[in-house]
Structure 1
Amino acid sequence: MRYVRFLKPPRLVVDKGSKPQISCLITITSDLGDSFLPYDVELAAELLSLHQTEEIVVWRTVQWKAGMRSLPITFPLTKNLKAQKFRLRVGGEPKSTYDDYGKMSGEATCGVVSVWSQEFSPSEATAAAKLVDRCFNLMDGHVICISEETGESIARHLWDAGITLSCHISELLKGGSPLAEALLPTSRPNQLRILELGTGCGMVGMTLAHLIADTNVLLTDLPEAQEIVEHNISQTKLAKGSTLKFQTLDWDEDLPQDLRSSRSPLHLVVAADCTYNADSSPALVQTLKRLCNVSPQARVAIAMKMRHSSEEVFFDLMAGAEFIKLTTLEYPLPGDVEIGEETVFLHVYQYKPSI
């Protein structure tokens, strides 16, 4: 998948001798930002008025060309629009209020994730905040919008495996689906308890709490992720009887006291996009082992896109820590030209310590 990103968020530009205009600078990159889309693609750029309901007031088509690293976009600003508040959306499908993973995976479709700016006002002559939204259709009637930062911190960005897993979580609601059989207990408890490691912006855990009733979801990460996660939690509509919280958890330290109690065991521990840095894998595996010593029946689900061979050490460490792989599910990623150019793997484990 590729992501539209604001290199410069939308703002009012008034050059001497020229009419005022809204201006921004975008790029289209991979989730890590380490490569640019190498193909031509047509994008819809839409200025959304927030005067009453969110509606498109100015729009245009822009062309990303192979070899580009950035693309400026401008809109003329008429007098009647100066006092309004706006958001700017740039994406592949015109007039869309969300991205649909299924449609992005279709034939002859480029898998480009749209971006929505934060609110800004030309009358205040300030740029939009350095947060953007990504919105995804999870299933009929369920759309989730997640904010991420526009800066360089990869801890506060959305990544391929997290989005892919989130966009398939609705399969947990289908009894007998491969995902449900892999992740859920055979006998459904009254309250399902799930912990996410390395939550980043929180999309996977938030999707679980949004779609699955009677589920307690705890999102964990380092302190630098707390602000963006708590912002996203505040925007998340929860399923009936479900809860969603954040707690700091450092893999290099002992578990917090509340996670050491076996009176409220976990049923599922999930992590997405957490194995890209092989140096952190030993700490990740030790944290998984500590959690499963307290909750030995918990399933462990690790979603990952293999980026380099050094990530293979994770599997050796899991085997050495006495985790047994139960199954691996594969999800082809929307590609630059066709689906399946890359794959997200969901590896599911059970802790089976020797006696």
Structure 2
Amino acid sequence: MHYIRFLRPPAIKTRQIAARQSQIHVELVLTVTTDLGDSFLCPNNPLDLEVFISENSSRRNWDGHSENDEPDRSQQFRKVPMPRPPRWTAGSRVLKTDFLLPAFNSVEALGEATLCVRPANRSLSSDATADLLKTHGLVMPIYVELRSSGPAETVALRRLRFSAPGSDQLVAMRRPVAVEVEEELGESIARHVWDAGVCMTAIISSICSTMPLDGEMNNLPKLRDILTASDGLAVVEIGCGVGILGIGLATALLHRQRCDSGRGAQTNPTRPVSILMTDLPEARDRAVANISRYDRMNSHGPPQRDSGQDGSEEDRTVEALPIPVDYEDLDWEDGRKGKFGAKVNARPWDLVMLSDCTYNVDMLPALVETLTALHRSITATSSFSVAGPKVLLATKPRHESEKALFELMHDAGWRISDQTVLPLPVMGSEAETIEAYLFTRPADSGP
């Protein structure tokens, strides 16, 4: 998969055309690269791009694009007319484009509008989870908030809309569902979304859906059992990066609750679900910012009927609150020694998950030892018999040396109990894959 990126913040300029009239001029500097930024898109045919702008600064109910590929007018989201749309061709490394915003006559009128750049051909755009699960989303759009005052925005937004099959569409129409995370502008690969995290989010959205799309794969039945259990769920993510997987899981679980409620199914909006994301200290600011963004986007859900103590419905309604998501620093060099923070040590975890963490083979021993130490800590300190947490690993194989992870996991007593492969077509290059594995480990296993 490829990603449209801003190499620098959009430049907003004002052109005076009359005594009391001016035009807003925007300049963009873009590139289209892989998740690691190690190669540029080299398409067989030119890739035309288009620009949209939304005047809705909150974007709380923003559904991106309607079925006819035009902006949703109720959200004041419109396509920017451009005499020559930007075009990415084979051999390109940087693409510069500029345009006028005819709907705005002053910088102040912009407010905090949101700009989106995406492929003009909708079938090539990774807008929604269905695009990834049906393997035709090749290029991921990018969003950025335009600031009319103050310092220029230093982060862009990635947004993945959850597809809504069947009657789930009724809930989605009232409240479009999407996972949205900030990533840093520029070419650095740090604090960006990567392929495995994005695709695993799409897989989880299908697993948690009450009505999966026709043809969607569901080859992780044991993971489904874990994620849809009725007796609570505690998940810790290691190496969370910007947080798309952890926040994606929270969004998928919350969407399931709301769909159940929308169909009148018995549901408990206060079901004990907890998600903790961890990473190195340098990831903290972006991860915490994205947790806050998730909370804001989901803080006012559709009302649900509340049940009285006798099982009858009461007249009052309750709100489907966001699934709690938290953050704590975790260095694997500490984790491999069994040194965990207070939040990690606070509870026995049902599931440990990670994505895009196997590319640095030098860190694989510390990673496996951290997983094993966490498993031992939980099974040794729990006051009741537990099997220990399962481990969900999502990865995009990049080089042969990464296979060492599986040998290390096996030697530490971990066994694969569930797995699946998601094809990942790549425009202008050979197809790739995203692999997902569910590992289990007996309490007394390993050296």
Q: TM-score range by the shorter chain?
A: 0.7 to 0.9
Q: Encode CA deviations 1:91-114: one digit per residue, 9 max, x unaligned.
A: 01479998124236668x561100
Correspondence for 1:200 among 241, 249, 257? 241
1:343 matches 2:433? yes
Pick closer, same or farther for the CA change 1:70–1:127 going to 2, 3 Å.
farther
1:293 matches 2:376? yes
Amino acid paired to 2:80: V
Structure-1 residue corresponding to 2:288: 230
Give the CA deviation at 1:277.
0.4
Q: Give me the whole-angstrom Cα distance separating, in 2, the residues matched to 1:95 and 1:344.
A: 22
Give the CA deviation at 1:27.
0.4
Percent identity of equivalent pairs: 30
Amino acid paired to 1:315: F
Pick closer, same or farther for the CA change 1:196–1:93 going to 2, 3 Å.
farther
Is the deviation greater in 286-295 or in 86-95?
86-95
Correspondence for 1:115 among 142, 146, 158? 142
Structure-2 residue corresponding to 1:12: 12
Q: CA contact under 8 A between 1:46 and 1:89: conserved in structure 2?
A: yes
Q: CA contact under 8 A between 1:322 and 1:354: conserved in structure 2?
A: yes
Pick closer, same or farther for the CA change 1:181–1:151 going to 2, 3 Å.
same
Pick closer, same or farther for the CA change 1:171–1:87 going to 2, 3 Å.
closer
Structure-1 residue corresponding to 2:38: 34
Alignment of 1:89-168 (within 5 A): 89-93=116-120, 99-103=127-131, 111-121=138-148, 124=149, 128-140=152-164, 141=172, 142-168=177-203
Q: Encode CA deviations 1:178-229: one digit per residue, 9 max, x unaligned.
A: 3242364499352200011100010111111122153200000011111111
Correspondence for 1:67 among 70, 91, 94? 91
Amino acid paired to 2:198: I
Structure-1 residue corresponding to 2:205: 170
Amino acid paired to 2:162: L
1:270 matches 2:292? no
The Cα RMSD (Å) is 3.3
Q: Give me the whole-angstrom Cα distance separating, in 1, the residues matched to 2:357 and 2:57.
A: 41
> Secondary structure of the residue that 2:8 maps to in structure 1?
strand
Give the CA deviation at 1:351.
1.3
Q: Give me the whole-angstrom Cα distance separating, in 1, the residues matched to 2:14 and 2:222.
A: 58
Q: Give me the whole-angstrom Cα distance separating, in 1, the residues matched to 2:401 and 2:435.
A: 16
Pick closer, same or farther for the CA change 1:24–1:256 going to 2, 3 Å.
same
Q: CA contact under 8 A between 1:10 and 1:88: conserved in structure 2?
A: no
Pick closer, same or farther for the CA change 1:181–1:171 going to 2, 3 Å.
farther
Residue correspondences, number: 349
Q: Give me the whole-angstrom Cα distance separating, in 1, the residues matched to 2:344 and 2:56.
A: 47
Give the CA deviation at 1:119.
2.7
Q: CA contact under 8 A between 1:49 and 1:55: conserved in structure 2?
A: yes
Pick closer, same or farther for the CA change 1:38–1:16 going to 2, 3 Å.
farther
Give the TM-score of the pair, scaled to structure 1: 0.87
Structure-2 residue corresponding to 1:80: 105
Give the CA deviation at 1:15.
9.2
Give the TM-score of the pair, scaled to structure 2: 0.70
Give the CA deviation at 1:144.
1.5
Q: Give me the whole-angstrom Cα distance separating, in 2, the residues matched to 1:22 and 1:187.
A: 46
Q: CA contact under 8 A between 2:183 and 2:192: conserved in structure 1?
A: yes
Q: CA contact under 8 A between 1:303 and 1:346: conserved in structure 2?
A: yes
Q: CA contact under 8 A between 1:138 and 1:166: conserved in structure 2?
A: no
Q: CA contact under 8 A between 2:414 and 2:439: conserved in structure 1?
A: yes
Pick closer, same or farther for the CA change 1:269–1:184 going to 2, 3 Å.
farther
Give the CA deviation at 1:292.
1.0
Correspondence for 1:309 among 396, 400, 420? 400
Q: Give me the whole-angstrom Cα distance separating, in 2, the residues matched to 1:144 and 1:278.
A: 30
Is the deviation greater in 250-259 or in 141-150?
250-259
